[in-house]
Every structure is written in C-alpha cells, then in structure tokens.
Structure 1
C-alpha cells in the first residue's frame, strides 16, 4: 500500500468516532491496491474493539489482538468472508462472474451469531463481477445490514454498478500515486533497478502500483530507449519503425505492444517538459494521434504491427528538423 494515506485516515477516523458506515465502496483503477486496503481494514477490525474510546490514534499496522491476528494471517478467521470469482471445475481459470449461489451462501452466514470478536467483515472483490441476481441480492442485504457487519466492496468501474448499491455505500476513491512517490517506492522495493529503469516504469505505470510491479520484468527502459531513438532521429530510413512493428506484431507479441502503449504517454510527457513552451503544441498533436490510433485498433482488427508502425510515425514527427538541431 502506497499513496493512500487519506483513505486509511478516513476509515480509521470513522471507526474511532463510532460512526463506521456499514458499507464502503473502494473505487479506482485496477492495480491501485484496493483489495490490499480491504484486507488490511478487515484485519484491523477483527483484531480491535468497536471503537478507540479516546485512545491514541491507531493505524492499520497496529497489531491488535494477537490470537485474532494469527487467524487472519493463516486465512482462517471465521468472521472475514470474501466473495470473488471461483475457479472453474477442473480448471485453473476463474469463472466469469460471482454467482448468486455464492451471495446466498454469504447471506446465510450473516444469520449466524458472531463466533469471535465484535465485527464480521464481508469483502467483495470485485463487486463489478456480480451476476445481476447476485447484485440485487447484495443490495437487499445492504439495505437491511446485520449489526456489527461491515461490507468492503472493491470496484474498478463504479459507474457501472447499480446506483442503488452506490447510494448505500460510503465511497473511498483511490487516486493515482504521484510519480516521485512511485519512484521512491519502486527503488525501495527493487533496489537492483537503476534510475533510468525506475523513471521509465513509474512513467509507464501512470500512478498505478500494480501496473508498475507488472512492468518490472518487461524491460521498460530498453523499449523506452528504442522509442526515444525514433523521436530523436526521425528514423529517416524507416529502419527503427519497421523493427518496432516486427517486435510488437502478431498475437504472440501482444504484451510487448501493450507495453509500448503504456510507455508512450509518459514518454511524450517527458519530451514536452524538455521543450520550450512554443514547441509543445506538436507534442500534444501527436499525443492525440496516438490515442486515436489505439482506440481505432481496439475497435478494429488490432493489427499489432500496424499499430506499432503508426506509433513510430507519431514519434518520428517530433524529431528536430534541419536547422533546429
């Protein structure tokens, strides 16, 4: 968890004051740490009392009751229930949705008395994955929640949820992490990365910690160097663009194409910052062109080689012209 101090503070302040809302919607892009937040909040509640009663301010790191904490760490605490997509039968793949049967099973548990501690916590990860019937069943429970039961609903697309579900929740929005905070975190987490790699990963991640971790093994710095060479030289013979198209073309190279798509916005931002204000307009124009290319590719056949070459064309347009080098 990085960069989400405000969310943690808001939750703990409500708990300390005895005004903890029964349902919290954890909203933001995938990879922001919402599920990790839900897990830490659940652990805190089942290892502490109902409220702080005027004691010293606490954080999620406070261990609380040791015995309850050991049960949480072992994944065996009876009062933490998690709803998530289940593995398909005889397969490692996950089901498409959280089913109505899973929701009904959870609701039956809510009718039982607490067996340990003063809180029961229901984590739904993600509430976006609920079947329609499951969403309606959850809504009825949110409308008449059992005492001392807290719902933590993880949502990557809160705008797609039933408005009535959103209205029953207090929303915590998880904002992108600032770049300097992300770079410090990456350096601490992966000290073997050099400064160029850390900068490239932080730029490509767009403030999303989960994406940054996924990019660590993707050789981001090397790809950024290739793209920057096109923007610097203009690639007059198309050699660099053709090589890029080959590298990201075909279904087997889809991850490398997605890496390029992730890197380019941060690279264009960096180029814009390094240029005089009178030369920023062409960079913004190519930014728009890249976005259109990606949108058109997603709507169409998604020819990776074509997308890669066109992104290369956008970057080549930014090369200094003769007489301005």
Structure 2
C-alpha cells in the first residue's frame, strides 16, 4: 500500500488558490528535505491539471477531486500524453540510475513543447529532481522558463534549492515543504502502521526529524531490533567481532542508508543511558567514545560516506564501553 504523505496542506492551499483565481504561475519549485513527499505532491498537481479546466472560475476543490474520467484513466495507466516526466534514466544494461539528467533529455522535452496539445487544457512537465540537471541542461531549462509556452506548467522538485541557479529560482513560485511536528507525525505513523508499539512510534518520530518518507524507511528498519543489537555489543564487548561485522553488513551500501541513519539516531540515547547508569568516576570513557563516534560520523559526511565502515566503527566504540572485569554489568 502506498502511504498518503502528510505536510502538503499549505502547498495545496497555495496552488489551488492560484488556480481558482486564474493566476496560475507557469513554474513551481517544490523545495524541502528529501522524503517530504514533494514528488507525490507534483504527481497530484499534474493529475489535477490534466483532469480539470484552466481554472479561474472560483471552484472550491481539492487536488484529489477526480475531474474528467477519461483523462484520469490515462493518468492511472501512465499514458497521459500531456504529462512529461524529466528524471534520471537507468544506465545501459544496468539497474543503477545515471548521475544526472542530461542536456539531451532536456532538449527532447523542449521539442515536445512545440507540439500542439492533444488532450485537455494543460501540459505538465515534472522535473524530479531539478538538482540532478547537468549544467547545460539547467541553462536550457532556464531559457524555456524565461519564455514558457502557453498552457504549460513546470513542476520542479528540489531537495537542495540553494544549489540551483538563482535565475531558475527567480522564475518559479516556491512551495516550501517543512518537517512535520512530532504530535502530527506520531498519529500519522500509527495510521500507516497500526501494529507498531507506541515506544517504536515515538522513537521513529524523533529519529525521522519530521520527514515522513524517512519515518517510513525507519519502520522497515525495525527500531527495537536495532536497539537490541547495539546493546548486545555494549554489554558483551563482542570479543569475536561477529556482532560488529553483522552491523556493518546491515548498514553498508546505498540501499541501507536509512538503517545507518537509524543507528546514528539511536546511539546518542544509548550513550546517555550509559552515562546515567555509571558512577561519576567511570564517565570519562563514555564521553571519550561519544566524541569518537561524533568524529566518525562527521568525517564520513565530509568524505566518501562508507556506511559499512561507519557502522563497524560505531560498533567498536560501543564495544569499548562493555563492562570490565570487576565492573558491574548493565
């Protein structure tokens, strides 16, 4: 089941007010952290436009109003001729995506803009993400934004709007997607995954930083199980490295980035717990390992971010905090 994302209310209201008032800007920049559901919002806007008229009649609708049934069926089938997606392509004979959206892709879209509309009142171009454009591609898109075709709307998804060409930003109306408050996130998570324990919901809400997409990824990582693995390293010292090697495998690689972030989010609470349980005279090693963990994460972010290495090193730090002979176990 695809989750219905939250945090779109202000953006939806701003867009619909412009459409209802006949003041629809030709380019909209959806800016905010990755995982906020900006792509889902862009898809909803595109569907709304191709299933409705030009606007300006003051109708009070929501983006999920079904509109024209025939156009809606084309959208559902992924075949609507007036919705154009510009995104990174899969590399030849592989599964990985190309590093950028190329200039040739942009030129191909621009050529299509010279054709007459074949269905409905709008043509919609979704660029997801505009951050991925090659420099030449960004410049080509800019020229089109400066002289946009009639009845054409651009929806630009951006996770890092500050890195875009200022001239692109200036041609767009910006919709900002802000992190969701915990008191909103928690009931939404319960609705999405009703079998979750309340303690897990609280941990995920805190670790997600208010980003719904990240929260859903963290659910799949199983917070309680990860906490138990980290505590096992801390309590036993993992003398044969078995637990640390397993942790490194579990958080290594691009596909496991959310799990690594979960580990990074869990560790401060675990260290804090150890500090509360230990006598004052035994706190120095705890603080030393916390400093080491912080340096590891900071250096990884600045460098090549090898998830397996970061996970193993965090495990090393926790293993150093295992009870020594004669020290009370926890």
TM-score range, shorter chain: 0.7 to 0.9
Q: 1:42/1:270 Cα in 2 relative to 1: closer, same or farther (>3 Å)?
A: farther
Contact 1:182–1:209 under 8 Å retained in 2: yes
Alpha-carbon distance in structure 2 between the residues aligned to 1:261 and 1:219: 12
Hey, what does 2:312 align to over in structure 1? 305
Instruction: Say which of 92, 95, 101 aligns to 2:95.
Output: 92
Secondary structure of the residue aligned to 1:25 is strand
Between the aligned partners of 2:8 and 2:294, the Cα distance in structure 1 is 29
1:189 to 174, 188, 192: 192
> Which deviations, in whole Å up to 9, do the C-alpha atoms of 1:89-112 show, x marking residues without a partner?
222222221111111111111111
**1:58 Cα deviation after fit:** 1.2
C-alpha contact 1:25 1:166 (8 A) present in aligned 2: yes
Q: Shift in Å at residue 69 of structure 1?
A: 1.0
Matches within 5 A, 1:135-154: 135-154=138-157
CA contact 2:289–2:317 (8 Å) conserved in 1? no
Query: Tell me, which stretches of 5 or more residues in structure 1 are unaligned?
Result: 277-281, 317-321
> Aligned residue for 2:120?
117
Q: Provide the rounded CA distance (Å) in 1 between the counterparts of 2:257 and 2:124.
A: 40
**Which of 48, 68, 72 is the aligned partner of 1:69?**
72
How far apart are the structure 2 equivalents of 1:286 and 1:310?
5
Distance 1:176 1:196 in 2: 21
Q: What TM-score results when the alignment is normalised by the length of structure 2?
A: 0.80
Answer yes or no: is 1:33 the counterpart of 2:32. no
Contact 1:223 1:260 in 2 (8 A): no
Cα shift at 1:215: 2.2
1:12 aligns with 2:16: yes
- Structure 2 CA distance for partners of 1:228 and 1:207, relative to 1, 3 Å: farther
* Aligned mates of 1:200, 1:32 — CA distance in 2: 18
Q: How do 1:101-112 and structure 2 match up within 5 A?
A: 101-112=104-115
Cα distance change on mapping 1:293 and 1:28 into 2, 3 Å? same
Describe the shift of the 1:98–1:79 C-alpha distance in structure 2 as closer, same or farther (beyond 3 A).
same
Structure-2 residue corresponding to 1:45: 49
Q: Offset at 1:307?
A: 2.8
2:153 partner SS? strand
8 A Cα contact 1:16 1:54, kept in partner: yes
Residues 248 and 257 in structure 1, CA contact (< 8 A), matched pair in contact too: no
Structure 1 residues 225, 70: CA separation in 2 closer, same or farther (over 3 Å shift)? same
How many corresponding residue pairs?
307
Q: 1:248 maps to what in 2? A: 247
SS in 2 for 1:164: helix
**Whole-Å Cα distance in 2 between the matches of residues 102 and 294 of structure 1?**
37
The offset of 1:290, in angstroms, is 4.5
